[in-house]
A and B are shown apart, each in its own frame.
Chain A
Amino acid sequence: MITSDAANTEIIDQIMKPFDLRTIEKDLRELWKQKEDAAEENKVTSTRACVSNLLIYEDQEDEINTLTETIIDVTKHHPCRVIVMSSKANSLEDKLEAGVSAICSFTISQGKQICSEQIMVKAEGSAVKRLSASVMPLLVSDLPVNLWWRGVPVDTQPFSGLLGCANRVILDSSYSTRPTAFLSVLATLARQRFKEVAFSDINWSRLTQLRSHIAGLFDVPDLLAYLKDLSKVTIEFPSSTTDQDLPAPQAMLLVGWFMSRLNWGLTEDILRSRTGATILKFLRGEHEITVEMTPSTKLENQDLKLTLTMADNTGWQEARIVIMRNYAYNAIETKLETPTICWLKDVARYEMPTESELILSELEILGHDVIYENALECTAQIIEKM
C-alpha cells in the first residue's frame, strides 16, 4: 500500500506476518523494488539512507499509531532503520509478528526523496522474552544503536536485553508517576553502564532552552559577578505535576544542574514544609545556598518559575532574577534587579519542542553528555537525602 501525506511524505506498508528473518529481508527487498518501480514511473529520484538504528519500544499498543508522525519527522532529518517494538506480556498467546515499511520524505533542499525503512515487531505472551534477541539481527551493523524506551526502565526483558545492544538509551522522566524513583534508577543505570551506554532523558532536553536562557543571563559580566553570591534559588512548579506534590522532575534536574555546575555540596539539612515545599541547604566553601522547590497553585500559564536571589558580601544589597517559562505565550519572561541595573523585563521566545525535535536532539549527541550525567548524579544525591 502506498500512501502520501500533505507534507510530501510517502509511506509504503506491508502487512504483519509471523516473525521470520528471511521473510523480513525478502519483504524489505521487495519493498525497495516496489519503490524503485514507482520512482521510475513517477520520475522521482529516491535514495535509501541510513545513519543509525533507532529502536523504539512502546508497551501501550494504542500509542503505536500516535508514533507514526514522530517517526516521519525524525526520519526526515535523521534517516535511519527504525525498529518499532510493542508487547503484550499478559496475553495468553505466544506470538511474534513483523512487518516492514518504507518512509520516504522529500529533502529540504534538493527535491530528492530520502527513504528510511521501518520494521514493526509485535510480541505477545511469552514471546516478549524473545523480543530483544529477535530484533538484534535486524540491526544495521557498524551504525550506532539508539533505543528510545517509552516507559519506565525495569531490570527485566526486553529492556535488559536491549540495553546490551544499545549505544544510547533515551528515556523520559515525565512518563513516570514516581519521578524520584525514576531518576534514581536512571542515575544508577548511568553509573553502572557508563562504559557501554550513554543515557538521555528527553525531559532534560525540554529544559535546554530555559537553561540556555539562564546561562545567557550570566554571560553579561555585570551579572556574572553576582553568580558567586547566589544565596537562594526558588523553583515553583504547578502543584498538580505529581501525585504526592514531590518536586517535579524538571525542577529536580535544574537543581542538580546548579549543584554540579556551581560546585555546591549538599548538606544534611533538608525540610519538607506543610505546603509541600522541599527546602535544601547547600554549601560552596563557607557560602550557604538555600534551594526551595515549591508546588504552586498560583502559576498562571507558567510551568516553571525560578527566582534567583544573590546577596553581596555586605548582605544588604540583593539582586534578584525571576525567570518564568510561559507556555501560553511561548515565552520565557525575565525580571531582573541589581544595584546597578534597574528592573528590566525581557521576553524571549520559547518554543515548546515537539517530541520529534526532542528525539532528534538526542540523536545528534555522540557518546556521553557529561553535563547531563553530572546533573543527574547530583539529582540522585538529592533524592537519596529526601
Chain B
Amino acid sequence: MTSEMENPLREEMRMERKAPPCAIVIFGASGDLNKRKLTPALYSLYQQHLLSNGFAMVGFTRTKMDHQTFRTLMTETTKEFAEGGIGDTAVWESFSQKLFYVSGDPNDPKAYQELKELLNNLDREQGTACNRVFYLSTPPELYTPIVKQLGAAGMNRASTPDSWVRIIIEKPFGYDLPSALKLNGDVGQIFEEDQVYRIDHYLGKETVQNILVFRFANGIFEPIWNRNFIDHVQITAAESVGAGDRVGYYEASGALRDMIQNHLMQVFSLVAMEPPVSLDANAIRDEKQKVMMAVYPFTHQEVPRFAVRGQYGAGASNGKPVLGFREEIKAFNAKSKGGRHYNEESDAPTYAMVRLMVNNWRWAGVPFFIRSGKRMPKRVSEVAIQFKRVPHLLFKQTKADRIEPNSLVIRIQPDEGITLKFGAKMPGQAVHIREVNMDFQYGQQFGRHSPEAYERLLLDCMLGDPTLFARRDMVEKGWELLGPVLDIWSEQKANFPNYEAGSWGPIEADEFIAHGAPHRRWRKP
C-alpha cells in the first residue's frame, strides 16, 4: 500500500529515488550477511542521502546487548566491510544514532512485544511513520517461527491507512518443491503476497537489469531475438574458488540449488521473456513467469537428456595445486575434530548444467544451456546468444568451419558489458575473414561505480517496488522444473570426481552440448 498523498516536491529526475520514512528490522543482525552487506548497504544509502530523515534500523538477535553495544559492534564491522570503511566519522555518528537493538528468542512472544513497543516509540521519536520492513537474515529454519510470531504480535499489518509493512526473505526459498510450498504457505498465512519480497541479489546487479533495457530499449535486437536467428543460448556462472570452508553448506545444496534454481533461472527468464506491457513490477514478473510456464517439463526418465552434473577433483587454481571437493571435506572433518562432520564420499555436484527448451513461438527448438560450477578456470558470469551460421557460404577462401557464427555476449561479472562478435575481412589482397569484437564495457562508458546489489534492492523494497524480487509462483515453478533432476541425482550414485579443478567442467558436458549438433561447444569465456 502506498500513501495516497504524493509529495509534489519529490517528483524530479535529478533527485535520486529516496526511501520514505521507515524502520527496518533485521532478524539475525549479528550474522555475516548483516555485517558484510546489509548495514554497509544501508550506510551507503545514508551517505548518499537516499534514506529518509525518518529512518531507523533495529537489530534483533538472541545475544543480550543494549543499543550502544550494538552500535559499537556495527561500527567495527562496517569499518571492516563497507567499501571505504565508515568515511566521515560525523556522518557515521549521525547514522549510528538511528541503530537500535532488541534481544530475544525468535520463538518468544515477549521479545516481539518488546520489539513492537520499540517500533512504536521510533514512530514518535524518529518519525518512521509506522512503516516497517522485516528482514529475515537468519537460518531458514527460523523463517516460519519468526513470521508466525510477527503475525501473533499483530505486526504483519499496517497500523494506519497510509503506512505499510513488508518482509524480505533471503534465499534459499525452500530446499525443493515441497519445502518451498510449505514455506510460501506459512508466509502466505500471515503476509499478503504483495508484502513479501524474496531477495535474489543477482537481480540487483546492474548488468542483469540491463538485459531488459538492452532488449526493449533498442530496436535492432528484438527482431532477431528468436528461433529464426538464434541457434542456442549459453548462460554461465563460473567460480574459480572451491567450496573451502563452506563445504557443509555446499555438501547439502550443490550447484543446482545454489546457483541455477534461483539466480540463473532469473537471468534465463529475463533473456527469454516476451516484452512486458509496461514496466510495472507485476507486468514484468508475469512475463517472466509465462516463459517459465513454457519450459518443457522433463520427466525423471528424461533427466540424462537434460542435465549433467560434475564434481571437481584435485587440480590447480591460480597457479597453485588445490584439493578436490571430497578432499576438502576430509580436511574440514579432520580440522573440526569433535564438531560437525560431512560425508567424505559426497555426491554433491559442484558443477551442474541443464538444458531448457522453451515451447513457444519465439523459442521452439532453441536450447538454453545453463551451467554453473566451482573451481573453474576463472570467475565469470555471462549470457551468450549464439546466432545461426550464414545460410550460404560466399567466401570460399575461408573454410566454412572457420567462419564463426555471430555471438552476442552479455557479461554480468566481472568487466560488465556487452560484446558483439562478427567476421571482418583481414587487410590484404585475398579475402580472409577473421572474428572481431565490438565491445561495450560499463567501466569505459560510465565512469562511476554501479551501486551494490543490496543497496539497490533494499531501496526498492522501501520504495515498494518488487520488480527485482522473486514472486512466489516463479520460485515454485523453478523448483517444479528442476525437481526431477534433484530426485535422480540424489537417488543415483555419481562417478565423481569427473573434472579437474581449474578446468571448464566434465567431459560429459562437452559431449552433451555437441550431441546432435557438432557445431555447438561451450564457450571458454
Contact = CB atoms under 8 A, between A and B. Distances in A.
B49 A220 contact: no
> Among the interface residues B5, B7, B21, B90, which one has the most CB atoms of the partner chain A within 10 A?
B7
A76 B443 contact: no
B14 interface: yes
B521 to A, nearest CB: 28
A273 interface: no
A109 interface: yes
Contacts of A217: 53
A126 interface: no
Interface in B159-179: 162
Interface stretch (B400-408, B445-453, B509-517): B445-453
Contact of A222 (B13, B127, B441, B445): B127
> Among the interface residues A107, A209, A212, A263, which one has the most CB atoms of the partner chain B within 10 A?
A212
B453 to A, nearest CB: 15
A220 B127 CA distance: 7
A214 B9 contact: yes
B449 A216 contact: no
Interface stretch (A5-13, A178-186, A345-353): A345-353
Q: How large is the interface on A (under 10, 10 to 19, 20 to 34, 35 or more residues)?
A: 35 or more
A386 interface: no
B448 to A, nearest CB: 6
Contact of B127 (A110, A112, A205, A341): A341
A220 B447 contact: no
A281 B150 CA distance: 52
Interface in A74-115: 76-79, 107-110, 112, 114
B91 interface: yes
Nearest to A109: B443
B415 interface: yes
A60 interface: no
B483 to A, nearest CB: 40
B88 A369 contact: no
Interface in B1-33: 3, 5, 7-16, 18, 20-21
Nearest to A225: B5
B270 interface: no
Contacts of A361: 14
Given A212-B49, A218-B10, A347-B94, A112 B15 contact: no
Contacts of B441: 110
A107 B129 CA distance: 42
A78 B94 contact: no
Contacts of B444: 47, 49, 79, 107, 112, 114
A110 B21 contact: no
Given A110-B415, A371-B14, A219 B443 contact: no
A125 B12 CA distance: 44
Contacts of B16: 212
Given A49-B445, A114-B447, A349 B54 contact: no
Interface string B375-391: 00000000000000000
A110 B52 CA distance: 33
A35 interface: no
Contacts of A262: 8-9
Contacts of A213: 49
Contacts of A77: 446-448
B378 to A, nearest CB: 15
B92 to A, nearest CB: 11
A215 interface: yes
Interface in B429-453: 441, 443-449
B91 A216 contact: no
Contact of B8 (A76, A205, A208, A261): A261
A383 interface: no
B53 A216 contact: yes
Contacts of A47: 444
A108 B447 contact: yes
Contacts of B90: 349
Contacts of A371: 11-14
B10 A215 contact: yes
A112 B445 CA distance: 12
A15 interface: no
B129 A221 contact: yes
A365 interface: yes
A110 B443 contact: yes
Interface in A188-221: 205, 208-209, 211-221
B14 A208 contact: yes
Contacts of A261: 8-9, 11
A224 B52 CA distance: 13
Interface string A346-377: 11110000000000010001000111100000
A107 B445 CA distance: 10
A349 B91 contact: yes
Contacts of A347: 94
B71 to A, nearest CB: 18
Contact of A211 (B9, B53, B446): B9
A224 B13 contact: no
A110 B8 CA distance: 41
A108 B14 contact: no
B5 A369 contact: no
Interface in B110-151: 127, 129
A215 B14 contact: no
A311 interface: no
A313 B94 CA distance: 36
Contacts of A215: 7, 9-10, 12, 15, 18
Contacts of A346: 53
A25 to B, nearest CB: 20
B14 A218 contact: no
A215 B18 CA distance: 10
Contact of B7 (A112, A219, A369): A219
A138 interface: no
Contacts of B447: 76-79, 107-108, 114
A208 B49 CA distance: 12
B14 A219 contact: no
A219 B10 contact: yes
A227 interface: yes
Contacts of B162: 221
Nearest to A370: B13
Interface of B: 3, 5, 7-16, 18, 20-21, 47, 49, 52-54, 88, 90-91, 94, 127, 129, 162, 415, 441, 443-449
10 smallest CB-CB distances across A and B, nearest first, come from A77-B447, A215-B9, A212-B15, A215-B10, A110-B443, A107-B443, A49-B444, A218-B7, A261-B8, A109-B443
Given A218-B10, A261-B9, 7 more contacts: A107-B447, A212-B49, A219-B52, A220-B21, A221-B162, A262-B9, A349-B88
24 contacts: A77-B447, A77-B448, A78-B447, A109-B449, A110-B415, A110-B441, A112-B444, A205-B14, A208-B14, A211-B12, A211-B15, A216-B53, A218-B7, A219-B10, A219-B20, A220-B129, A221-B3, A221-B5, A221-B21, A227-B9, A257-B9, A348-B53, A349-B91, A371-B12
